[in-house]
Chains A and B, each alone.
Chain A
């Protein structure tokens, strides 16, 4: 059974069509890599999944629940969207950590705010906060950042920041974790530590959608690969097949350019 089903998503900015009829599905525990040149629509696709953009057409389903249907205005209400976002986590290219909070506070903040809306929050406040704290520390340890918990983002390297951002996204236990070119803003020597963490998550069967320019990594970590070009899914399938024996000419050209440069 598919955890995520995307059907016929279209999106235009002004008159430029950025996504043209995108459909795919993702199984629980699988990692999906989305590759393609800049401007092919990969990032917009992720932003649609996270409701940062509203598709013009199409349907998004998670666990068979319709989260978005362009033909059904009731699925566009702001209050409802907020909860639906929680099915997804998003790790940004530029981290977007909150600069005024420490690494630990960055990881805890969203859960604390959500917890404060629970009906039994007042009665169990201490217990709940303790639980959030423990979880955050565990996540940071998992990211190899246990001795960085009290540092502010500007005191951390880019790689460390991105790992904090991953921990922050994981804290809400999303069904699907999305990465938007997670290593593009990093110095080359720092990409390794971030990719290693993502690889570990994949090994633990975290459901993920990864937009990336790291071809070797995409092939290595993904269970499924989508190649996008000019707003279309040109080719998709098993990584070995897409990377080794691409069926489409455009895929071949793209991979050639990447393996050369």
Chain B
């Protein structure tokens, strides 16, 4: 126990740096996947056949394959097959490749949630707007959007909390997020070797962060409770 207390400041420092990387990947993914998911959702609901099938095909491929394989393909494929290592070997390149994979992956999951949300709003709402002389965009922003958001908050919360934990997959392309940082102490890092507890201690970070997210998302859900 005494040893752990001694190691604590060093470990926490290293885990903080790893967790910062985790958070960066988390927020970049959300910022990218929220709008991209909407674009894909509209694509897969499009009346224009090729666009519709293209969107559906992308969603099928991305949801049908493991994120870990997507990370490997997206990071290594350009260099291995096309002989153009576009991402580069450094930390920034790995982060960029990881962000790209995560945004694409989560956008596809989000798009299905959006689609369910949009299609879940009764047709009568749009018709009521039309009869009252509203434009399509007025109907979307003033009527459909909020009802859609209310519908998607619970499934979105689920995905968002899964995303926090999924970021750990990025260490397959050596993105040094918190689990990587925790694992480093098992082998030896920062003068500490053979320490197992830092790896398990990373769970505390996930737990606390997901606790905060759960509270915030719960508050949003309650905020939208004023209508049904």
List the interface of chain A (C-beta within 8 A of B).
50-52, 82-83, 85-86, 88-90, 92, 94, 96-100, 109-110, 113-114, 152-154, 168-169, 172
Q: Which residues of A sit under 8 angstroms from B134, Cβ to Cβ?
A: 82, 110, 113
Given A90-B131, A110-B132, A152-B227, verify A96-B125 contact (CB < 8 Å).
yes
Residues from chain B with Cβ under 8 Å of A50 in the complex:
130-131
A109 touching B142, Cβ below 8 Å: yes
| Complex Cα spacing A33 to B228, Å | 33
**Once the chains bind, are A52 and B122 in contact (CB under 8 Å)?**
no
Minimum CB distance partner of B122 in chain A: A96
Closest to A111 in B: B132
Q: What residues on B are CB-neighbors of A86 within 8 Å? A: 133
CB-based contact B131/A114 at 8 Å: no
CB closest chain-B residue, reference A84: B133
Contacts A94-B124, A96-B122, A113-B142 given: A85-B227 contact, CB under 8 Å?
Answer: no
> Given A96-B122, A154-B227, do A172 and B146 touch, yes or no (CB 8 Å)?
no
Q: Given the complex of chains A and B, what is the CA–CA distance between A99 and B147 in angstroms? A: 8
Cβ–Cβ < 8 Å partners of A110 in chain B: 129, 132-134
- Given A94-B124, A153-B227, the answer on whether A88 and B131 have CB atoms closer than 8 Å is yes
In Å, the complex CA distance between A90 and B150 comes to 27
In the bound complex, CA of A88 to CA of B227 (Å): 28
Q: How far is the CA of A153 from the CA of B122 in the complex (A)?
A: 15
Q: Is the interface of B mostly helix, strand, loop or mixed?
A: helix
Tell me whether A85 and B147 are in contact in the complex, defined as CB-CB below 8 angstroms, given that A96-B122, A113-B138 are known contacts. Answer: no
> Across the two chains, which residue of chain A brings its CB closest to B143?
A98
Confirm or deny: B127 has a beta carbon within 8 angstroms of a beta carbon on chain A.
yes
Chain B CB count within 10 A is highest, among A89, A110, A152, A153, for A110
Give Cα A229 to B129, complex, Å. 30
**B residues in contact with A96, CB < 8 Å:** 122, 124-125, 127-128
Contact of A98 among B128, B131, B135 (CB under 8 A): B128
Query: Does B226 interact with chain A (Cβ within 8 Å)?
Result: yes
Convert B211-228 into 0s and 1s, putting 1 for each residue whose CB lies closer than 8 angstroms to a CB of A. 000000000000000111
A98 to B122, CA, bound (A): 11
Q: How far is the CB of B82 from chain A (nearest CB, A)?
A: 45
Instruction: Specify which of A83, A88, A94, A96 lies most central, judged by the most chain B CB atoms within 10 Å of its CB.
Output: A96
Q: Which residues of B contact A98 (CB under 8 A)?
A: 125, 128, 143
A92 vs B135: C-alpha distance when bound (angstroms):
19
In the complex formed, the residue of A with least CB distance to B121 is A99
Which residues on B sit within 8 Å (CB–CB) of A92? 124, 127-128
Q: Report the minimal beta-carbon distance from A210 to chain B, rounded to whole angstroms.
A: 16
Given A96-B125, A110-B129, output 18 extra A-B contacts at Cβ < 8 Å.
A82-B134, A82-B135, A83-B133, A85-B131, A85-B132, A89-B131, A92-B124, A96-B128, A97-B128, A99-B147, A99-B227, A100-B226, A109-B132, A113-B142, A114-B133, A152-B227, A152-B228, A169-B132
Beta-carbon contact of A52 and B130 below 8 Å: yes
- CB-CB under 8 A for A52 and B142, given A99-B228, A113-B134, A154-B228: no
Nearest residue (CB) in B for A83 is B133
When the two chains form their complex, are residues A52 and B127 in contact, meaning their CB atoms are under 8 A apart? yes
CB 8 Å contact bits of B92-135 with A (1 = contact, 0 = none): 00000000000000000000000000000010110111111111
Query: Which residues of A lie under 8 Å from residue B147 when comparing CB positions?
Result: 99-100
Q: Are A168 and B132 touching (Cβ within 8 A)?
A: yes
Instruction: Give the residues in chain B near A114, CB-CB below 8 Å.
Output: 133
Alpha-carbon distance between A110 and B133 when the two chains are bound, in angstroms: 7
Contacts of A113 in B (CB 8 A): 133-134, 138, 142
- Identify 13 residue pairs between A and B in the complex whose beta-carbon atoms are under 8 Å apart, listed by A's number: A52-B130, A52-B131, A83-B133, A85-B133, A96-B127, A97-B128, A98-B128, A98-B143, A99-B227, A100-B143, A100-B146, A100-B150, A154-B227
Complex contacts, B122 vs chain A, CB 8 Å? 96
Which of B122, B127, B132 has most chain A Cβ within 10 Å? B132
Given A94-B124, A96-B125: A82 and B133 within 8 A (CB)? yes
Expressed in whole angstroms, the Cα–Cα distance for A90 and B129 within the complex equals 11
Q: Mark B166-200, 1 if CB is under 8 A from A, else 0.
A: 00000000000000000000000000000000000
**A85: which B residues are within 8 A, CB to CB?**
130-133
C-alpha spacing A197/B147, complex, angstroms: 30
A185, B125: Cα distance in complex, Å: 16
Q: Which residues of B contact A168 (CB under 8 A)?
A: 132
Contact residues in A for B142 (Cβ distance below 8 Å):
109, 113
